[in-house]
């Protein structure tokens, strides 16, 4: 790296150079939820200082100390004897900070991103060295056990040229306050935060520092700048606007070399303004406040209230509304594309893929955002919901029109802040219609991720398939589950050069590693644990609902037991028909139902089996079976999911054809279990297929498709 004459540092910063100061007034529940969010997302070595500014709970410090016991770095908790202003509590924390860098957060402004180290490196790689860079946090709300993460909006100059232009234009520098990292020495040199600026103290500080050093907002971040009902901006909008105007006059005076006006002089000047000018100013203030309140309401699911306030904002001051509607940092300035995936549920089996995709895209300088709904009743019934600290939670509304179930998962801000938005290929998701027809006004591109068609249309009916086809034709890109899905997407109207086959899979490498690590007596231990005999074990893994042909499975298992007296059936999963399985297991002790199991425990149980029985719809569970060395025995129904394409009859599994009865199916399974050579052949074939299907390959395929989609011109 070339020498930097304007550099203020003598080495590249590391996490140990940063102190997080959490300064809070009341709202103890929010504070604990926010602090908890830091534990999994903060790099090792960062210092933490919590300043309790008059807590509502006198035992709060003790509770927080227990909560933060896992913190891996220096930590201090201080309770102020008397309640101070926000500026006062921040300056108290600043005076105690000994690290080179410091950031200040409130009780609902936390959740660090893994980008912290990269952000610190920007202080080293930017010339001249910035005084402040903002970027890295998301707002957290909700409860201690169920935090909710909000979405992003960009603020502040994103480049040195933009910083210089902002200063030259005489504008205030606005960086989202709780996401800003300061050079501690420079912040202290101007006296920290000044109470006279009230709620605008951050803008005054940023601008004052900006006279001498860059103040930048790295736009590659996830942060929501919204207001809650207790904020000054919400409850005292006029007062906040006054403080902003006062701040502007003070900064203008400094630029011109004049003395700054006192607060009293400013108020006197305001009183002398013509009444018409004051009315215009009041309308602009109210318009801006309504716009932000409306956006917060929409994001939290209160759409009627939100759109009403946004409409009122436009009516009060069209100019203010237009300025607020535009992103304050263009994605071209950001230098890092943003790709967002909107989904209705996060299954456990998908976590490894999302983590791998995020890492792979980051290596290509692309940011991934994952926006997850809170899940439908049918998803919750399966008991298969996972959480990731970096995923953003959105409300999802389900309603019915003319007997058809529809979903609404809004993401206008997501679309506007993303270069590519990827959604599930679902005609009942109404926001897909918005994206399909609104790509140009939203300044984004829309891609589908899905099967290509409804492979279960025979069960569910053709309703919505026509709309799905029209929406697919308008998509900018299509991420197909596998080659079978890719062919279906092309048949639905997607150009072949806009289709990526991702080869949908689970984390097969992890499955193999878990199986290899099992002790030699694991199978016998599982048999003892479940009360199994010594005979062959067939496994069923997956959701228990009608397309899986639950009753067929149970009837066939009974027939297999007659043919093979020591046969054992192990069923792992949950769903709407679990009562049927529970009744069968109570009546037949050789049927072992263990309910939904996930992770290594599920693998430990399933590894006891010799084959997987799946007479109904085959889906992604076949990949887990491959990795476990379990050939899948199914039937030639017309509604398998695309993963049926992985099954090669006679090599890694068997398809019993000819519309078989449970007895026909049972006879074929018994033949396989009685033929050790055939069984070994199928098991080896399953293992070989499992080696070909990996999360790493899927993530790389998906990421390559993202790169191609971003490079491709807009769909004609």
The two beta strands, 568-572 and 537-541, are: parallel
* CB proximity list for 30: less than 8 A, separation 6 or greater: 107, 108, 141
Q: Which element (helix H / strand E) includes 393?
A: strand 392-394
Q: Which of 226, 261, 287 is the last residue of a domain?
A: 226
Q: Give the number of C-alpha atoms closer than 13 A to the C-alpha of residue 181, restricted to the C-beta side.
A: 27
pLDDT of amino acid 117 = 77
Q: Which of 197, 226, 255 is the last residue of a domain?
A: 226
Task: Tell me the pLDDT tens digit for each residue of 406-427.
Answer: 888 777 767 777 889 999 987 7
| Separation between Cα atoms, residue 421 and residue 685, nearest integer Å | 38
The DSSP secondary-structure symbol of 113 reads -
| Separation between Cα atoms, residue 287 and residue 310, nearest integer Å | 8
Whether 455 is in a domain gets the answer yes
In a shared domain, residues 52 and 180: yes
608: CATH: 3.40.50.2000
Contact status, residue 580 vs residue 514, Cβ threshold 8 Å? no
In a shared domain, residues 368 and 426: yes
Phi first, then psi, for residue 691 (nearest 5°) are: -65, -25
Instruction: Report the candidate in 540, 523, 533 with the shortest Cα–Cα distance to residue 593.
Output: 540
* CB proximity list for 3: less than 8 A, separation 6 or greater: none
In a shared domain, residues 498 and 512: no
Whether 372 is in a domain gets the answer yes
| Separation between Cα atoms, residue 451 and residue 577, nearest integer Å | 25
In a shared domain, residues 411 and 515: no
Whether 306 is in a domain gets the answer no
| Separation between Cα atoms, residue 85 and residue 87, nearest integer Å | 5
77 bridge partner residues: 50
Location of structure tokens 């010799």? 610
Whether 280 is in a domain gets the answer no
| Separation between Cα atoms, residue 611 and residue 653, nearest integer Å | 9
| Separation between Cα atoms, residue 629 and residue 590, nearest integer Å | 22
In a shared domain, residues 517 and 611: yes
Instruction: Report the candidate in 559, 582, 680 with the shortest Cα–Cα distance to residue 629.
Output: 680
Whether 212 is in a domain gets the answer yes
In a shared domain, residues 149 and 21: yes
Q: Which element (helix H / strand E) includes 537?
A: strand 537-541
Contact status, residue 339 vs residue 420, Cβ threshold 8 Å? yes
In a shared domain, residues 488 and 365: yes
Neighbours of 175 (CB within 10 A): 25
* CB proximity list for 346: less than 8 A, separation 6 or greater: 354, 370, 372, 385, 386, 387, 388, 391
Contact status, residue 407 vs residue 429, Cβ threshold 8 Å? yes
In a shared domain, residues 467 and 517: no
The strand order across the sheet containing 75-79 reads 75-79, 47-52, 18-24, 101-105, 180-183, 132-134, 215-217
Neighbours of 370 (CB within 10 A): 19
Location of structure tokens 């009516």? 315
Q: Give the number of C-alpha atoms closer than 13 A to the C-alpha of residue 58, restricted to the C-beta side.
A: 1
For the chain, how far is it from start to end, CA to CA, in angstroms? 44
Please give the C-alpha separations between residue 393 and each of 362, 384, 547, 567, in angstroms, as whole numbers: 21, 16, 29, 45
In a shared domain, residues 432 and 531: no
Listed as ranges, residues in the chain with pLDDT below 70 are 1-8, 25-30, 33, 55-57, 107-115, 136-155, 219-236, 295-303, 323-336, 374-386, 389, 403, 413, 456-465, 715-716
* CB proximity list for 169: less than 8 A, separation 6 or greater: none
Instruction: Report the candidate in 160, 121, 185, 140 with the shortest Cα–Cα distance to residue 31.
Output: 140
Location of structure tokens 């709780």? 178
Rg of the chain over Cα atoms, rounded to whole angstroms, equals 30
Contact status, residue 286 vs residue 237, Cβ threshold 8 Å? yes
In a shared domain, residues 45 and 126: yes
Whether the pTM exceeds 0.85: the reply is no
Q: Which of 190, 209, 226 is the last residue of a domain?
A: 226
Q: How many helices (H) and strands (E) does the chain have?
A: 30, 24
In a shared domain, residues 64 and 94: yes
Coil/strand/helix, residue 603: helix
Query: Please, is 534 exposed, middle or buried when counting C-beta atoms within 10 Å of its C-beta (0-12, 13-18, 19+)?
Result: exposed
Cis preceding-peptide flag for 128 (omega within 30 of 0)? yes
Task: Tell me the pLDDT tens digit for each residue of 482-495.
Answer: 999 999 999 988 99
Whether 287 is in a domain gets the answer no
pLDDT of amino acid 679 = 97
Whether 305 is in a domain gets the answer no
Domain count along the chain:
3
Q: What angle in degrees, to the nearest 10, is found between the helix axes of 599-606 and 508-517?
A: 70
In a shared domain, residues 87 and 222: yes
Whether 523 is in a domain gets the answer yes
Q: What's the domain range around 100?
A: 1-226
pLDDT of amino acid 466 = 74
């Amino acid at each position: 790296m070339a020498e930097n004459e304007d550099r203020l540092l003598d080495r590249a910063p590391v996490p140990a150079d940063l102190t997080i100061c959490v300064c809070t007034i009341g709202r103890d529940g929010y504070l604990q939820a926010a602090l908890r969010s830091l534990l999994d997302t903060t790099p090792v070595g960062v210092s933490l200082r919590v300043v309790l500014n008059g807590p509502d709970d006198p035992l709060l410090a003790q509770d927080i100390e227990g909560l933060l016991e896992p913190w891996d770095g220096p930590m201090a908790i201080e309770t102020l004897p008397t309640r101070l202003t926000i500026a006062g509590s921040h300056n108290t924390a600043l005076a105690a900070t000994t690290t080179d860098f410091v950031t200040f957060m409130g009780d609902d402004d936390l959740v660090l991103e893994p980008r912290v180290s990269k952000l610190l490196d920007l202080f080293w790689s930017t010339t001249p060295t910035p005084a402040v860079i903002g970027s890295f946090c998301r707002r957290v709300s909700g409860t201690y056990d169920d935090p909710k993460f909000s979405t992003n909006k960009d603020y502040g100059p994103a480049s040195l040229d933009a910083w210089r232009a902002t200063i030259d234009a005489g504008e205030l520098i606005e960086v989202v306050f709780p996401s800003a990292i300061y050079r501690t020495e420079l912040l202290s040199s101007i006296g920290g935060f000044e109470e006279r600026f009230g709620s605008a103290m951050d803008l005054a500080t940023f601008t004052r520092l900006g006279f001498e050093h860059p103040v930048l907002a790295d736009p590659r971040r996830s942060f929501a700048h919204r207001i809650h009902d207790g904020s000054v901006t919400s409850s005292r909008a006029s007062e906040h606007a006054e403080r902003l105007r006062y701040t502007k006059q003070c900064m203008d005076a400094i630029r011109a070399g004049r003395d700054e006006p006192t607060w009293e002089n400013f108020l006197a000047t305001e009183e002398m303004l013509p009444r018409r000018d004051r009315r215009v100013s009041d309308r602009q203030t109210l318009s801006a406040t309504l716009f932000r309140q409306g956006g917060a309401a929409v994001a939290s699911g209160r759409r009627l209230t939100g759109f009403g306030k946004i409409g009122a904002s436009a009516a009060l001051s069209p100019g203010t509304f237009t300025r607020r509607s535009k992103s304050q940092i263009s994605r071209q300035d950001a230098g890092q594309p943003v790709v967002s995936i909107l989904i209705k549920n996060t299954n456990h089996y998908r976590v490894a893929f999302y983590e791998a995709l995020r890492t792979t895209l980051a290596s290509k300088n692309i940011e991934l955002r994952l926006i997850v709904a809170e899940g439908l009743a049918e998803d919750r019934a399966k008991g298969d919901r996972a959480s990731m600290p970096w995923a953003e939670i959105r409300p999802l509304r389900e309603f019915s029109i003319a007997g058809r179930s529809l979903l609404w998962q809004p993401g206008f801000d997501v679309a506007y802040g993303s270069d590519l938005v990827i959604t599930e290929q679902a005609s009942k998701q109404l926001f897909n219609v918005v994206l399909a027809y609104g790509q140009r006004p939203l300044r984004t591109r829309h891609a589908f991720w899905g099967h290509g068609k409804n492979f279960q249309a025979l069960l569910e009916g053709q309703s919505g398939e026509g709309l799905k086809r029209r929406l697919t034709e308008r998509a900018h890109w299509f991420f197909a589950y596998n080659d079978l899905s890719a062919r279906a997407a092309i048949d639905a109207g997607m150009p072949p050069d806009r289709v990526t086959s991702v080869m949908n899979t689970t984390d097969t490498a992890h499955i193999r590693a878990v199986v290899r690590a099992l002790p030699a007596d694991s199978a016998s231990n599982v048999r003892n644990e479940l009360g199994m005999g010594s005979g062959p074990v067939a496994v069923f893994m997956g959701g228990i609902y009608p397309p899986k042909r639950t009753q067929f499975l149970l009837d066939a298992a009974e027939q297999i037991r007659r043919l093979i007296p020591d046969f054992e059936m192990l069923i792992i999963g949950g769903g709407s028909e679990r009562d049927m399985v529970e009744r069968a297991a109570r009546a037949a002790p050789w049927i072992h139902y263990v309910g939904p199991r996930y992770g290594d425990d599920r693998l430990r149980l399933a590894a006891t089996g010799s084959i997987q029985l799946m007479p109904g719809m085959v889906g992604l569970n076949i990949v887990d079976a491959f990795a476990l060395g379990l050939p899948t025995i199914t039937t030639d129904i017309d509604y398998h999911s695309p993963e049926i394409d992985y099954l090669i009859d006679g090599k890694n599994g068997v398809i019993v054809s000819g519309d078989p009865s449970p007895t026909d199916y049972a006879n074929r399974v018994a033949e396989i279990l009685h033929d050790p050579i055939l069984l070994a052949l199928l098991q080896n074939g399953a293992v070989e297929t499992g080696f070909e299907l990996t999360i790493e390959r899927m993530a790389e395929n998906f990421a390559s498709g993202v790169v191609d989609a971003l490079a491709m011109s807009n769909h004609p």
